[in-house]
Structure 1
């Protein structure tokens, strides 16, 4: 299969497995261009019956996906080109819905930090395996005075249950891989030194299954219809993001070099300080 060159993705195809490295330096934020690239790639792979598994990894040593890029609002005109393909959800939620409905098995190899929109991407995949040392995950949006807007509330409700979803979203703490696995947020934690080999073996074993098996299993275990909850999530996110406080917090955070490695390593502490200084 021939794929175009993407500015934010590096794709390798081998043995029925597409390995996709997410790459938007300096801290791997999910921006409008990456959303467009993912939309295009997933659409092309959807029609490719030779690709049976899609593995997502990061091109960055520390961050899988830091969060949605704070310049995302500037990307809205470009995102209009694909909005028609998401009739019942917003574009950010739509990327997660594409992941959840792919005919291929989607696997995240989490060897870094995933927060907010990055955590939503992780939760939308069929499976996630995280390194016990470097794999970490958080929904930190409430620290900006908003709520998750890319499916996080509904994905957590489905995977972790209401009580744990409330803890994750409202507590806004960074979870280690072992606790995230205990909560059902990810499949399991794997020692960092074994993570690559583990995911490679699993993806290869799945890709080698007899024709029709993957399709049959995914039809028998379909992704739940989250549309109603996603609509409520979007409405609440939209209501909050237009308020005064989120805008002030975002501006001050960017003035203090958010989206660089230093602040991003302890984003929760950084944003709590920003809130205290508003």
Structure 2
């Protein structure tokens, strides 16, 4: 299914690939959210589907980050909703019987990282993946689940390092922190993820569904209420005067545009107030 932001490829029986493509830098915007919600409906309706792999058509960006100019727009298209509906989408994905995988090549910052964290499993390019939660550097706080997921995956101190430092992390460090499952050499990443997905797709549906339910019950997943509270905190911070001033300054320097500022965003946000 071709669409404005997502292309869904049925690779094999039980295995879909979702390719993210929103030029020029794969911003997460309201249209992408609408298509993700429609995708979730399709996932729930497919009796044969066992595994979904999310990846990017842009080798430099998995998903850059939340669109700070248009994030609260509700477009006139199927699936459209306010950003406050994001926690419900994540809950559906986490509790779905289908296994979800993020194949991260390029930059996954802010909500790009949170989309990856919403997936069950994350594999990252050792040479080309960059992860960051840059929100505090933009005078806001994470609102898409990073606070909840990273506190569980990385632990309190490392979650604080990631979120309050607002800097870029390479894939190998992200692997050590539990942010991603594995950092895989870039030349091997596509084959590695494809092999894993085809392997999972070959297994019994009922066994896979029960296995995921049991792991969710033992490991625990953040509650929708916790994610909603963080989501509302993020939305509130976007109206702070100092936040608007910071965002305007960052926009003037190249935020949300192609170029060095976005490519090295973790570096640049650390220099704005120095």
TM-score, reference length from structure 2:
0.91
Which residue does 1:62 correspond to in 2?
Answer: 60
Are the equivalent residues in 1 in contact too, given 2:50–2:205 (CA < 8 A)? no
CA distance in 1, matches of 2:156, 2:47: 37
Which residue does 2:47 correspond to in 1?
Answer: 49
Which residue does 2:131 correspond to in 1?
Answer: 137
What's the CA shift for 1:252?
2.3
Matched residue SS, 1:273: coil
Change (3 A) 1:257 1:6: same
Which residue does 2:243 correspond to in 1?
Answer: 246
Larger mean Cα displacement after TM superposition, 244-253 or 231-240: 231-240
TM-score, reference length from structure 1:
0.90
Structure-to-structure mapping, 1:253-264, within 5 angstroms: 253-262=250-259, 263-264=261-262
- 1:10-55: CA deviation from partner (whole Å, max 9, x where unpaired): 1110222110110111000100000000100111111101111100
What's the CA shift for 1:142?
0.1
Are the equivalent residues in 2 in contact too, given 1:32–1:79 (CA < 8 A)? no
Are positions 1:229 and 2:223 aligned together? Answer: no
Change (3 A) 1:155 1:76: same
Structure-to-structure mapping, 1:1-278, within 5 angstroms: 3=1, 5-15=2-12, 16-73=14-71, 75-76=73-74, 82-83=80-81, 90-222=84-216, 224-262=221-259, 263-276=261-274
What's the CA shift for 1:155?
1.1
CA distance in 2, matches of 1:138, 1:153: 12
CA distance in 2, matches of 1:201, 1:273: 42
Are the equivalent residues in 1 in contact too, given 2:38–2:79 (CA < 8 A)? no
CA distance in 2, matches of 1:25, 1:77: 18
What's the CA shift for 1:260?
2.2
Matched residue SS, 2:93: helix
Larger mean Cα displacement after TM superposition, 220-229 or 186-195: 220-229
Larger mean Cα displacement after TM superposition, 247-256 or 194-203: 247-256
CA distance in 1, matches of 2:255, 2:92: 29
Matched residue SS, 1:61: coil
Q: Count matched residues.
A: 269
Which ranges in structure 1 are unaligned for 5 or more consecutive residues?
none
CA distance in 2, matches of 1:165, 1:71: 27
Instruction: State the 4+ residue runs in structure 1 displaced beyond 4 angstroms.
Output: 77-84
What RMSD in Å do the two structures reach over aligned CA positions? 2.0
